[in-house]
Structure 1
Amino acid sequence: MTSTHIHGTMRDRIVPCLLSILSIILSTILARTPVDAEQPVRPLRVVTYNLLHDGAASGFFKGETNLEERLEMVIRELKVLDADIIAVQEASDSRRHGNVPERLAHALGFHVVFAAATEHVFRLWPLDQAVVGIMGFREGPAILSRYPITASEAIDLTRCQRWIEPRMLLRAKVATEWGPLQIFSTHTARGDECQMEQVGKIVRERGDSGLSLLMGDFNTPETSVVLTALRNEAGFIDTYRMANPDEPGPTVWQRIDSEQPTASRRVDFIFILPGGRTTAAVRSSRVVLNHPGHLPDGAALWPSDHYGVLAEIDVIQPEGGSEPPQ
């Protein structure tokens, strides 16, 4: 056997062995490299939005708000925003247009719960059902979720100012990859501060076990006595103001047929209330659904007389992981 043959045989054995050892070393290094360092957990994305319905008489007559065209714009924009949870107000169910929150949920592939405030006008079930049936119209808040809704509750709020004007607080418990969340959607009456106080109290009472999100149209500016107390005394976090300390962020009132923006006040909010050992940090928040579309004749049409608000939230679970979805 020649020397060259011996050297070649040894080389043929040593090289694969070295490559195998190198592969083991690289695998060990990669296994110890935390994936989360380069791939952070994505934030929870939530939206609140007042849809603007087509009027209480829309069960009988075609309204002048172009509801169908506005809904098409809203669906397109919500798909782009890619939210996980959406709270809507003035969601309607009418003889002419069908159940709008269910239509939105179907278009997005979401779960949905809906609370019709108009079923509580007189607080007499037979009378309320008869009126709603004759009118062919219901309206109230709704919650849409990418994740399963495991429980829900509709609360008829106290009417401190106008007895004939029903307002609801809708609660949904949602099983998410961040753990169970409590979601609230509401549309309080203008100037009814004791109603807003009741909303804050209910959210605090039901939010002990985890993170709660309170979203909706409060019909009052952030400087109001009640909203100031919710932030400064009750621990609610205003996501938009946290992310934008100096931006006005108006959400109302937009003329839906105007070419120009007309909103000048901020009355639509996303509030966080930490609960248990779960906290949250606001990654970003901005006004959305704040650009007009156009009708076939070229006339301007806005999605609603309100703009929406989006927030990206980092849910911070206690050490040891999140609670199991319930």
Structure 2
Amino acid sequence: MSGGRACDGFRRMQWGALLVALLVVGLSACRSAGSADRVDVEATMDVVTLNLWHDREDWPRREALIASELERLAPDVVLLQEVLQDKGLPNQAETLARRLGYAWHFVSVDPPDRARRYGNAILTRESPVARGEKALRPMDDYRIAGWVRTAVHGRPVNIYVVHLNFTDASGAIRTQQIADLQSFIEATRGDAPVMLAGDFNTRGDSPELAPLRERYDDAYAYLHGPADDARPERVTLNPKYHERPQRIDLIFAQRDRLLPLESRRILDQPDADGTWPSDHFGTWARLRFAATR
């Protein structure tokens, strides 16, 4: 009897030692995983693009909804289209930037001394080290691309915002504007990676965007597949306001320099009183910087 009890005690000691060893290994793995997660975060960039729908409907209410979600997401970069300023209406991008504590760069074909100006904007956590703009042909289409070079977690990156033509169903004008955009990128990007986003007024798989797809990954399609961009779960045109909703608000990341890790639709629900943030849904993406060679 005493020998059996001794054997049982020895076995319990063995099991106890094994459990302790497993616990130590598990804690070490958790610490390693946590460290890896921190490294990953330092190597990523969170991006949001949204068409503001200028001051339509109840802008103060919509502004509050948009700002609340941006505060929650805390992206590194925000790209805005249909940004407006006018008499009695401070620049919408500036208002959001000041509320969020971001730097901002607004671009418009309207002269700087005009009260009413309409265009696009880029908001960044870090102040840009360079910035610019380029009007897109035809010059009577009020389309313009904006650019900043900034840093995200100490890594330099070029950010471009654009809003393309929607009146020419053939896509010929958008094709011309894409060519202008690419020329602008080549003239300004230097050695830093490129991210461009905005309202392209055409689906991500459209023929006129083929030149972009040669060098850049459509973040959402890269992660969710090249399925029909008119499917309800993919569209970014709000069906509340658009008869033919499609996914036209896109984030492109330079291939081999920025890897899409996550992407989803945001700002796609009304508040309790039925107010929608915009007539577009927003798009959010997390991109990872490629390892430095």
Same-fold status (TM-score > 0.5): yes
Q: Residue 269 of structure 1 aligns with which residue?
A: 250
**Which residue of the other structure, out of 198, 208, 211, is the alignment partner of 2:193?**
211
- Checking the alignment, whether the CA contact within 8 Å between 2:50 and 2:280 is kept in structure 1 is yes
1:140 shift after superposition: 0.5
- Deviation readout 1:92-146 (Å, 9 max, x if unpaired): 1121221111110111111111112333xxxxxxxx84xx3xxx32111100011
The one-letter code sitting in structure 2 at the alignment partner of 1:250 is V
Gaps of 5+ in 2: 1-27
Q: Is the 8 Å Cα contact of residues 251 and 263 (structure 1) preserved in structure 2?
A: no
Pairwise CA distance, 1:38: 5.9
Could you tell me how far apart the structure 1 residues matched to 2:201 and 2:239 are?
Answer: 14
Once the two structures are TM-superposed, the CA of residue 263 in structure 1 deviates from its matched residue by 6.8
Find the residue that maps to 1:77 and give its secondary structure: helix
Aligned-partner residue type, residue 50 of structure 1 = N
Q: Percent identity?
A: 26
Contact in 2 for aligned 1:197/1:226 (Cα 8 Å):
no
1:80 match: 72
Partner of 2:15: none
Aligned twin of 2:235: 250
Task: Note if 1:47 corresponds to 2:48.
Answer: yes
Cross-structure match for 1:292? 270
The 8 Å contact of residues 253 and 263 in structure 1, kept in 2 or not, is answered as no
The offset of 1:35, in angstroms, is: 7.5
**Contact 2:161–2:196 (CA under 8 A) maintained in structure 1:** yes
CA deviations over 1:177-205 (Å, ceiling 9, x no partner):
24111000111112322112221332244
Q: Look up the equivalent residue of 2:163 and give its one-letter code.
A: H
Contact 1:94/1:138, CA 8 A, preserved across alignment: yes
Q: Give me the whole-angstrom Cα distance separating, in 2, the residues matched to 1:281 and 1:165.
A: 33
| Structure 2 counterparts to residues 215-254 of structure 1, below 5 A | 215-232=197-214, 235-245=215-225, 248=229, 249-254=234-239
Q: Secondary structure at the match of 2:40?
A: coil
Q: Who is 1:124 aligned against?
A: none
Q: Which amino acid aligns with 2:40?
A: V
1-structure distance, mates of 2:245, 2:33: 47
Q: Which runs of 5+ in 1 are unaligned?
A: 1-28, 55-63, 120-127, 320-326
TM-score (norm 1): 0.71
Q: Structure 1, residues 139-198: CA drift from partner, whole Å, max 9, x if none?
A: 111000111211110211121xxx532111100010222411100011111232211222
Does residue 138 in structure 1 map to residue 130 in structure 2? no
Q: Root-mean-square deviation (CA), in Å?
A: 2.3
Greater mean deviation of Cα atoms: 263-272 or 247-256: 247-256
Q: Are the aligned partners of 1:182 and 1:211 in contact in 2 as well (CA < 8 Å)?
A: yes
Larger gyration radius, structure 1 or structure 2:
1
Contact 2:223 2:261 in 1 (8 A): yes
2:52 and 2:182 mapped to 1: Cα distance? 23
**Structure 1, 207-216 or 102-111: larger mean CA deviation:** 207-216
TM-score (normalised: structure 2): 0.78
Task: Tell me the matched-pair count.
Answer: 250
Pair 1:293–1:202, CA change in 2 (3 A): same
